[in-house]
């Protein structure tokens, strides 16, 4: 396994951002017709992150060109998105976390130990300066997260999700 501290979005991340055409993210065929789930235009974040990890674990440079819907890399990213949901229990867990109360509304820096985690954000592309910052001293109490992730709402928390490498598609 590669050294986790060696991952850099500028070198190991996808060269394109999380911007997709408006179409169902997942189409499930059923005996009664197709069921559309989600909208790719809302993002394929989890699939992009899993795909990047897959390329990184395999020691393969990720493709630099955004795939069009239907292309093998696009289908792979969508499959990894579904994998990131950890059906069926994962969806229930995510729903539970999303409904927890918000934390404090302020964020102090002076006089407090603050932790900064560097993160890969598919919405920001190959930017090594993306972070989430928080004070870990009281893990049982609400905390506030400062960040520069390319989203329009606050970060309310984060969690480690189960990841298992998969073989990336051939270029």
pLDDT value of residue 105: 46
pLDDT, tens digit (0-9, with 9 covering 90-100), for 123-161:
999 999 999 998 888 877 888 888 999 988 888 877 778
pTM for the structure as a whole: 0.82
Average pLDDT, the chain: 87
Flag whether pLDDT at 9 surpasses 60.
Answer: yes
| 106 C-beta neighbours (distance < 10 Å), count | 6
């Amino acid at each position: 396994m590669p050294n986790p501290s060696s991952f850099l979005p500028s070198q190991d991340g996808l060269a394109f951002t999380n911007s997709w055409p408006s179409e169902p993210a997942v189409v499930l065929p059923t005996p009664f017709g197709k069921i559309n789930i989600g909208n790719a235009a809302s993002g394929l974040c989890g699939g992009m992150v899993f795909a990047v990890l897959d390329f990184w674990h395999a020691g393969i440079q990720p493709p630099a060109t955004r795939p069009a819907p239907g292309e093998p890399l696009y289908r792979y990213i969508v499959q990894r998105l579904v994998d990131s949901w950890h059906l069926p229990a994962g969806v229930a867990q995510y729903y539970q976390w999303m409904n927890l109360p918000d934390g404090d509304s302020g964020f102090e820096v002076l006089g407090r130990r603050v932790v900064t985690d560097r993160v890969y954000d598919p919405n920001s592309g190959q930017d090594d300066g993306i972070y989430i910052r928080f004070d870990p001293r009281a893990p049982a109490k609400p905390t506030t997260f400062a960040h520069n992730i390319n989203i329009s709402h606050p970060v309310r928390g984060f969690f480690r999700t189960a990841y298992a490498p998969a073989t990336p598609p051939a270029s």
